[in-house]
Copies of this chain bind each other. A is one copy, B any other.
Amino acid sequence: MLKVGLLGAGRIAGVHATAISTNPGSTLVAVSDINNDAAAKLATQYGAEARATDAILNDPAIDAVLIATSTDTHSDLIERATGAGKAVLCEKPVDLSLARAQACQKVAAKNGKPVMIGFNRRFDPNFSALKAAADRGEIGKTEVLSITSFDPAPPPVAYIKVSGGLFRDMMIHDFDMANFIMGAAPVTVSAVGTSIVDPAIGEAGDVDTAVVTLTYADGRIAVIKNSRRAVYGYDQRVELLGSEGLLQAQNMLENTVVKSTTAGVTGAKPTYFFLERYMPAYAAEWAAFVAAVNAGSALPVTLDDGVAALAMAEAATQSAKTGKPITLASVLN
């Protein structure tokens, strides 16, 4: 039974608390948050204790730590938790700064404890089924990957200003999805971006709509499309062309009801946002972490994966600004 400390008590921490508590192989022992009341409330709900972060990290009875705090604390907490001998599952991204993330990567490697980054989409039943089918060779040799990833509505401009920008905040999930499905890092990253959804986002120095093309050493190509706004709901699709066919992971819908009238044939919208769409993925992600830690086996997503996606975000940011393709190698050096 894995004894777990949860750092953070916000909305996504609540999702993780449920996963920890309902998983038969783990128990939630303690919760910390800069907001004491939030920590207390969440702890009570699941029969755990509210503690200070240090008290969690220093407790030898705690085996693992789940980091669900604000992004600017991730690197420090990964370093401290692994230094304290804890297995770690940390929400993405590792850091907004690639250099800081790479430094963290080195410290964690030295500390020798497993660190998993919360790229929850890898555990979505649809995307994981697509990946499994591709790995079984069901469409032959893979050639072209397309990822469509639209949020239902843009966040407040105030958030965008501290988010690191669309490529680091939003598309980073899609960069990881590309790495997951292609099983390789790209050679070049070419990005175009625009603030067509909301000019205020452009004025804040960011884009709200972007298309990124990735090329691979073996001639494969990937395309990622992002928009901060799809009024019909969370649009999360993956499409993979291979020498022997095409795989598509389509949207989850709110229900299966279809209405036919003189106005046409109308079905339900996609599930609204990530909590609705990816709730099963969070539980599967945690189950994979528990299984790997308990077995001492390799984690399915690593800190290296977190750094790799961040490097692609860095390259895309540069490409969108300069209008030129950026090699991933140039960013990593």
Contact = CB atoms under 8 A, between A and B. Distances in A.
This chain's copy number in the assembly? 4
Interface in A238-274: 241, 243-270
Size bin of chain A's contact surface? 35 or more
Given A232-B262, A241-B227, A126 B192 contact: no
Specify which of A215, A227, A255 lies most central, judged by the most chain B CB atoms within 10 Å of its CB. A255
A324 interface: yes
Contacts of A99: none
Contacts of A221: 192, 194, 209-211
Nearest to A47: B47
A183 interface: no
A246 B259 contact: yes
A246 B232 contact: yes
B245 A260 contact: yes
A174 interface: no
Interface string A204-226: 00000111010100111101010
Contact of A261 (B209, B215, B245, B254): B245
A261 B139 contact: yes
Given A133-B257, A144-B225, 13 more contacts: A125-B254, A126-B255, A129-B254, A129-B268, A143-B227, A144-B227, A194-B221, A223-B225, A229-B243, A231-B262, A250-B258, A253-B265, A324-B324
16 contacts: A130-B257, A138-B259, A144-B211, A144-B225, A188-B323, A190-B190, A195-B219, A209-B219, A232-B260, A245-B261, A246-B259, A264-B267, A264-B268, A265-B267, A265-B269, A265-B270
